[in-house]
């Protein structure tokens, strides 16, 4: 069982994540975070040296969870022997999990962090670049294997991987702007169907 200090730290991070996603980093004060977390300023500074330190810890936690979701999808599809079918099922994994994704994340923290120049300047945004690199490499590998197995020329696999990643991020923005979480599932369904059609054009090697 975690110690009370760990629980308190997570409560602060939970409150900060919600406020930063809703209002932006600059518009979120330490006092607002403390009120939302139901904790004291002393407790805050026990865990974080500053508001910028909080932002880095928040981003680190979010990146870890994000990469964890990627690895979960890779593990869930690892036993699929057909590389093209694995790509389709990889996307379907997230499509089926869309409700859970949106209930856990009302929007993507990456947008809120990258919008703040001080977080870009102090290196916090480098954590996001790392996460994107991990996603991009994994999806590129999946797509390259699928294209090879079908003797297909899908163009630049890295560009296509970027498109897949951007679909995820764009779906967050669409959900946010319309107030409807259903867009996440809908956009992933469209992506899955497009990839299915593209990969079905080839002949298994």
CATH number for the domain including 23?
A: 1.10.10.60
Same domain, 37 and 106: no
User: Considering the domain boundaries, does residue 205 fall inside one?
Assistant: no
Could you give the number of structural domains in the chain? 2
Same domain, 26 and 1: yes
The sign one gets for the Cα dihedral 66, 68, 72, 78 is positive
Same domain, 172 and 115: yes
The parent domain of residue 157 ranges over 56-200
Average pLDDT, the chain: 90
Range with top average pLDDT, 19-23, 57-61, 174-178: 57-61
How does pLDDT run across 73-94, given as a tens digit for each residue?
A: 999 999 999 999 999 999 999 9
Contact 90, 79 (CB under 8 A): no
Of 34, 46, 40, 45, which is closest to residue 3 (Cα–Cα)?
46
User: Considering the domain boundaries, does residue 161 fall inside one?
Assistant: yes
Which CATH number covers residue 125? 1.10.357.10
User: Considering the domain boundaries, does residue 147 fall inside one?
Assistant: yes
Contacts of 151 (CB under 8 A, 6+ apart): 202, 203, 205
> Is the model's pLDDT at 159 over the cut of 90?
yes
> Is the model's pLDDT at 2 over the cut of 50?
no
């Amino acid at each position: 069982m975690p110690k009370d200090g760990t629980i308190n730290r997570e409560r602060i991070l939970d409150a900060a994540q919600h406020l930063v996603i809703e209002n932006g980093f600059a518009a979120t004060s330490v006092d607002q975070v403390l009120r939302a977390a139901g904790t004291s300023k002393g407790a805050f500074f026990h865990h974080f040296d500053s508001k910028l330190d909080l932002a880095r810890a928040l981003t680190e936690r979010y990146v870890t969870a994000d990469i964890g979701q990627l690895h979960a999808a890779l593990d869930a599809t690892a036993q699929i022997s057909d590389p093209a079918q694995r790509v389709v099922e990889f996307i379907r994994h997230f499509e089926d999990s869309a409700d859970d994704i949106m209930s856990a994340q009302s929007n993507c923290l990456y947008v809120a962090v990258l919008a703040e120049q001080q977080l870009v300047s102090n290196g916090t945004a480098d954590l996001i670049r790392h996460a994107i690199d991990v996603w991009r490499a994994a999806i590129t590998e999946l797509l390259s294997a699928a294209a090879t197995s079908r003797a297909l020329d899908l163009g630049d696999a890295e560009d296509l991987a970027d498109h897949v990643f951007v679909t995820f991020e764009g779906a967050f923005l669409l959900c946010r702007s319309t107030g409807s979480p259903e867009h996440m599932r809908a956009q992933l369904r469209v992506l899955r169907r497009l990839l299915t059609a593209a990969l079905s054009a080839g002949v298994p090697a």
